[in-house]
């Protein structure tokens, strides 16, 4: 059983929607359990709910045709990516508040 992706943070297209999360565990040689988080959003106000899913390795690494979404993108430093995203959201919120005060 392969454990190479466990603990990796990812961005992906899953069920035809952009998602993000972390690879939690290997199920067997062909599947991993992934935990989706709310980093990727529909828009600034609506986040995906957290959830678990079983994802096939083939879906993660292969691009079957021109119509298929890109393969999943994996990152080693999940905590760093999440912190940077939170800081970006906070700075955008501060800018928005500053704009409202100026008006």
Contact 2, 25 (CB under 8 A): no
Q: Is the pTM of this model over 0.85?
A: no
Q: What is the pLDDT of residue 33?
A: 95
Q: What is the pLDDT of residue 52?
A: 92
9/22 Cα distance (integer angstroms): 4
Q: What is the pLDDT of residue 18?
A: 80
Ordered DSSP codes for 2-66: --TTTT-EEEEEETTEEEEEEEEEEEETTEEEEEE-SSSBSSSS-BPPPEEEEEEHHHHH---ST
Average pLDDT along the chain, 103 residues, taken 10 residues at a time: 85 81 92 88 66 88 66 73 72 66 50
């Amino acid at each position: 059983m392969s454990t190479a992706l466990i603990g990796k943070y990812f961005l992906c297209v899953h069920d035809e929607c952009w998602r993000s999360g972390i690879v939690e565990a290997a199920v067997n040689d062909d599947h991993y359990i992934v935990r989706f988080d709310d980093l990727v959003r529909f828009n600034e106000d609506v986040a995906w709910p957290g959830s678990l899913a079983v994802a096939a390795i083939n879906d993660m690494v292969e691009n079957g045709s021109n119509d298929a979404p890109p393969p999943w993108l994996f990152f080693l430093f999940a905590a760093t990516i999440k912190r940077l995203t939170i800081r970006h959201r906070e700075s955008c919120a501060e800018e928005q508040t500053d704009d409202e005060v100026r008006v």
